[in-house]
Amino acid sequence: MCGRIYGDVGLHLVYSLFSESAPVMRSCWIGLIGILLVTIASSLKAAEEAPRQPNVLFIAVDDLNHWVGHLGRNPQTKTPNIDRLAAMGVTFTNANCAAPACNPSRAALMSGLRPSTTGCYDNGQDWNPVIPKSKTLTTQFLKSGYNVFGAGKIYHGSQHRDGEWTEYFQKKSPKLTLDASAKNDGVGGIKFGPLSNPDSDMPDHLVVDYALEKLGQKHDKPFFLAVGLVKPHMPWSVPLSYFEEFPLDSIALPPHQKNDLADVPSAGVKMAKPDGDHAQMLRSGRWNEAVQAYLATIHFTDIQVGRLIDGLESSQYKDNTIVVLWGDHGWHLGEKEHWRKFALWEEACRAPLIWVAPGVTKQGAVCDRPVDFMTIYPTLCDLASIKVPGHVEGTSIKPLLTDSGSTWEQPALTTFHRDNHSFRSEQYRYIRYADGSEELYDHKADPYEWKNLAGDSQYDEVKQSFLQHLPKTNVPELPRNQGKKKGKKNSA
C-alpha cells in the first residue's frame, strides 16, 4: 500500500515538474525536494558523526608480576612499552588477582564469578560445568553487536568454547630449541634457558601478528580483540638476544631475608613449600640465572606489547579503542622462601593493571586504590554502554578511571583454595587462612612483608575492617585433574 502511494506521489511529482501549465506547482515541488535533500544529507552526516561503541583491545599477560618499570618493584627490569602504555592512561599500583593461579584467575575474570562462588580455586579444576556460556564477558559483547576475536591464552591451557567468539586464532608455532650456550633446561621444576630461534618462531609473536592483521582490517561492527600472551610463563626461554640484555654479573637477587617464614602460620608455610623449589634453587647456586631468565622473558613480552601498541596507534581505530592490560597474577622468585604463584602474599597476588579509555582516562594517571581483577568485566561493560549482568560480583571502576583519586572503600580480595583469603588496602595486607590463622603486614613500613603483625592486639581494628569483606559463600572445591578435558585448545 505504502509503495503504491509513494509511486503515485512520484508520478505526480514528475508530471508537475515538467508541466508547462503548472509553473507555481513546479516551484513548490522544487522547494520541497531541496528541503528533503538537505534533511537527508543532515541525517546522514549526523549518523556518521554519532559516537560508535568503542572497540576493545584486551591484553592478558601470563605470570607477569609487578616487575615492570613504572611500578618500581625491580629496577633491573626493561619494560619501555608497558610503561609507555601506562603513561597513556591510568595504571593501578595496588591491583590484585582474584586467585594466584592461571585457571581460577582467568575463569573468575572472564565469568564475573569469584572462586568462592564457582568452586574453581586452583589449576586442574574444570570450570566449564559451573560457568555457563551465557555468563561470560565475551558473550555479553557478542550479544551487544560486537565481533569478538581471540588469540593466545585467555583461559587456562588456551581453552575456548564455540559460541563465545566470532573467531579464535589457532596456529602451531615452529619447534623451539635451546641455544648451545644453555647449560640445561633449568633447576628442577623451574625451567629456563636461551633459545636459538628468532622472535618470529615464538607463539606470542604469531598471536600478535594475528592481532595486527585484525587491527589493519576494515570492520563494519565494533570489535573486542582479546590477545593472550603466554610469556613470561615458564619456561623462561626466549631468543638469546634477550638474555644478553641482562648480563649475569649485573643481576641482583630480589630483596629477601633468612628464615622469613619463622612468624608465618603453618598454613602459609604449607603454601610456600620452602623445602621444594627454593631449597633446590639454593643448592644449585643458580638463583641469579633464574632471575636473569625471568627478566629476559619479561623484556620479550614487552616487545610484543609494543608491537600491539604501535599497531593500534597506526590504525584507524586508535581514537575509539579501549585498551586494558592485566597480568593474571604475580610470581615469587625466592621471596618468602617461595617460588611460583600459589600463595597469598604480595608477590603472588599483585600484577600490572593498565587502562586507556579515550574520553575517560587522563594521560599519566596513577591510582593507588586497591582493586582486584573482578573489576575488569563490569568496567568494560560500563565503558561500552553494555548492561552489567546481575551475576557479576565485581564493581565498575569507571569513577577511578575518570578521577584516580576518587573514594574507594573496598579492599582487593584474592582467594586460594577454599576459605583462604588475602585482602589488600593501600596500607595493609591481611591474610586469613581456613584454619583461622592470620598474617598482617604494614606496607608503608614493611613493603616486603617480613614482619607479621597479626598477633599484635593494637591491629585488631585493622583486621576487623577486612573481616567484614569475607565472602559469604565459600563453596566446596571442584574435582581435580579435569581442567583440560573440555574446551577447545588453541595451540598457538
Q: Could you give the residue numbers annotated as active site? A: 102, 156
Helix (H, G, I), strand (E, B) or coil at 95: strand
Query: CA distances (Å), 367 to each of 166, 347, 362, 398, in order?
Result: 34, 19, 11, 12
User: CA nearest 246: which of 180, 192, 297?
Assistant: 297
Q: Pull the grid cell for residue 58.
A: 584486551
Q: Which conformational region is residue 171 in: left (phi greater than 0), alpha (psi within -120 to 50 degrees), or beta?
A: beta
Pick from 326, 328, 330: which is nearest to 380 by CA? 326
Bridge partners, 6 (sequence order): none
DSSP of 178-238, one letter per residue? B-TT--SSEETTEEB--BSS-GGGSHHHHHHHHHHHHHTS--SS-EEEEEEE-TTSSSB--
The residues with which 327 forms a beta bridge, in sequence order, are 61
* Three-state DSSP class for residue 371: strand
Residue 89 · residue 369 · CB < 8 Å:
no
Whole-angstrom distance, CA of residue 262 vs CA of residue 250: 31
Q: Cell numbers at residue 11, please?
A: 508520478
| Type of residue found at 240 | L
Cell numbers linked to 380:
568494560
**What gap in Å lies between CA 372 and CA 471, rounded to an integer?**
14
- The number of CA neighbours under 13 Å toward the Cβ of 130 is 23
Which grid coordinates belong to 379?
A: 568496567
- Return the half-sphere exposure (C-beta side, CA atoms, 13 A cut-off) of residue 147: 12
Alpha helices in 273-358 (DSSP H): 279-284, 287-313, 346-349
DSSP state of 274: I
What is the spatial distance between Cα 420 and Cα 343, in angstroms, rounded to a whole number?
A: 10
- Cβ atoms of 135 and 112 within 8 Å: the answer is yes
What are phi and psi for residue 430, nearest 5 degrees?
-120, 130
Rg, Å, the chain Cα set: 27
Nearest to 64 by CA among 253, 403, 331: 331
CA 74 to chain centroid, in Å, comes to 21
Find, among 364, 178, 325, 337, the residue nearest to 254 by Cα: 337
